[in-house]
Amino acid sequence: MGAHNFTVYSVIKRSAILYRDRTALICGNQRITYQEYLTRVDKVADGLRADGLKKGDRIAVLALNSAEFLYLYGAAAKIGAIVLPIQLAVEIGRNSIHPISRLARVIFVIMIFRL
């Protein structure tokens, strides 16, 4: 497979084959192996498909850096959807919608609270 044939999802899948039990992600105290990462990405992709999302659909995401964001990003790559990240630093009025979100078929808000 040439360098131009790689997608985000193919890199995740290949890494799970080559580095199955090695740590892919560290989130706080949690360590996620490459195989666990692939499994979670696949489950999210299945859920996106079940909700009717398909290749070319746009997914707006408002999230902090997190494993959940990476699962969604990888899942979108698997089904051919386009991720539109929205920065949390952008000021959004109560009654306004971020302009980029108007392009999306669906908007995900991933909030993780740590006490």
Q: What's the domain range around 16?
A: 3-110
Number of structural domains in the chain: 1
Q: What number is the average pLDDT over the span 57-77? A: 91
Residues 6+ apart with CB under 8 A from 19: 34
CB count within 10 Å of CB 92 equals 13
Q: Residue 21: its pLDDT value, please?
A: 98
The reply to whether 55 falls in a domain is: yes
Q: Which pTM does this prediction carry?
A: 0.79
What does the block give as tokens for 39? 């499994």
The reply to whether 64 falls in a domain is: yes
Q: Residue 28: its pLDDT value, please?
A: 85
CATH value at residue 78: 3.40.50.980
The answer, yes or no, to whether residue 63 has pLDDT greater than 90, is no
The reply to whether 115 falls in a domain is: no
The reply to whether 19 falls in a domain is: yes
